[in-house]
Amino acid sequence: MDISGNTIFIPGSTSGIGLALALELQAKGNTVIVGGRRGDLLRRIADEHPGIDTVQIDTADSASIEAAAKDVLTRHPELNVLIAMAGIMRAEDWHRPEGFLETAASVITTNVLGPIRLIGAFVEHLQTRPDATIMTVSSGLAFTPLRVTPSYNASKAAIHMLSESIRLQLADTSVKVVELEPPAVQTDIVPGHAENPNAMPLEEFVTETMGLIESQPEATEIQVERVKFLRYGEVRGDYDQVVAVLNAADPHNR
Ligand SMILES: NC(=O)c1ccc[n+]([C@@H]2O[C@H](COP(=O)([O-])OP(=O)(O)OC[C@H]3O[C@@H](n4cnc5c(N)ncnc54)[C@H](OP(=O)(O)O)[C@@H]3O)[C@@H](O)[C@H]2O)c1
């Protein structure tokens, strides 16, 4: 995707990676629409960053996605980029059902069904634009499992394979499918993660990511250097060591 001149909707950008990316993309000359559930944050973002539009959306709720999509497309008919950023990460204990059933349903609904429904709401419109992008957001944990978050890891593996598959189907359209694969990044996705010394500082991650988008506009996967340890264990042949290192270094967090 081009680094500037787009109109971009980012459901899941009231905080963390989404917000940081939204601000950088606006600074590069894109029109950005920030989405999320927290109305107080949406109001603050709109106040503090003139030019950024905001839309309330709950991506775990199909009616909310439909309403928000209608709203966004009415206000921004030139929209050509969807970044399906919204995601949650929850610890689970799979020894007994009460340790994971509810969490798993909620993680899969937000992290997998959410992006699927978002793409459903925008894919026809995006094909009317001469140059369009769907950006999905997976994780290094799509490729190497963290012991404490089985459903999260699986949700991100699903996003990876969906991205690979949808890209093949949409190859006959104007819509590119790009997968952002963050490593551990210091955000509030789980308590204490923003201070996790094993995670990449948010600003560094977003700066490197913007550099990759700018220098490789045709890239199908956006991988900062730090994610390659998790991303390519199987390819390098050191997968078992990578799994061991990840889970020894950071057993309760990411
Ligand atoms: N941080 C990491 O280490 C890391 C690593 C790899 C991948 N990722 C992925 O990066 C994405 C952003 O995460 P983050 O680290 O920036 O965490 P974050 O600060 O917690 O941000 C999550 C964003 O998703 C939104 N969101 C969550 N559930 C939503 C829902 N049902 N409807 C609408 N928006 C929802 C939140 O907004 P509201 O609460 O306002 O709705 C928030 O804006 C996620 O997909 C995550 O899995 C993160």
Q: What is the 3-state secondary structure (H, E, C) of 97-148?
A: HHHCHHHHHHHHHHHHHHHHHHHHHHHHHHHCCCCEEEEEECCHHHCCCCCC
Q: Which residues are catalytic?
A: 152
Residue type, 197: P
Alpha helices in 133-238 (DSSP H): 150-169, 202-215, 228-231, 233-236
254 occurs within a structural domain:
no
Per-position pLDDT tens, the chain of length 254: 999 999 999 999 999 999 999 999 999 999 999 999 999 999 999 999 999 999 999 999 999 999 999 999 999 999 999 999 999 999 999 999 999 999 999 999 999 999 999 999 999 999 999 999 999 999 999 999 999 999 999 999 999 999 999 999 999 999 999 999 999 999 999 999 999 999 999 999 999 999 999 999 999 999 999 999 999 999 999 999 999 999 996 555 44
Q: Which residues of 192-202 are buried (b: 16+ CB within 10 A; e: fewer)?
A: ebbebeebbeb
Give the residue, out of 88, 90, 151, 156, with the most ligand 1 atoms within 8 A of its beta carbon, to mutate for a pocket test.
88
Ligand 1 neighbour 253 (Cβ under 6 A): no
Cα within 13 Å of Cα(226), Cβ side: 19
Ligand 1 neighbour 41 (Cβ under 6 A): yes
Q: CA angle 143-145-150, nearest 5°?
A: 120
Q: Which atom of ligand 1 is nearest to the CA of 13?
A: 43
Give distance in angstroms: CA of 87 to centre of ligand 1: 4
33 occurs within a structural domain:
yes
Count of domains observed in the chain: 1
1 occurs within a structural domain:
no
Count of residues for the chain? Answer: 254
Query: Whose Cα sits closest to atom 19 in ligand 1?
Result: 16
* Predicted TM-score (pTM) of this structure: 0.97
Give distance in angstroms: CA of 11 to centre of ligand 1: 9
Give distance in angstroms: CA of 149 to centre of ligand 1: 15
Give distance in angstroms: CA of 106 to centre of ligand 1: 13
Distances (CA, A) of 242 to 33, 70, 226, 237: 37, 44, 13, 10
185 occurs within a structural domain:
yes
Whole-angstrom Cα distance, residue 231 to residue 209? 16
125's tokens: 């419109």
Q: Which atom of ligand 1 is nearest to the CA of 89?
A: 47
62 occurs within a structural domain:
yes
253 occurs within a structural domain:
no
Whole-angstrom Cα distance, residue 141 to residue 199? 13
Task: Identify the CATH number of the domain in which residue 201 sits.
Answer: 3.40.50.720
Query: Whose Cα sits closest to atom 44 in ligand 1?
Result: 87
Its domain, for residue 90, covers 7-248
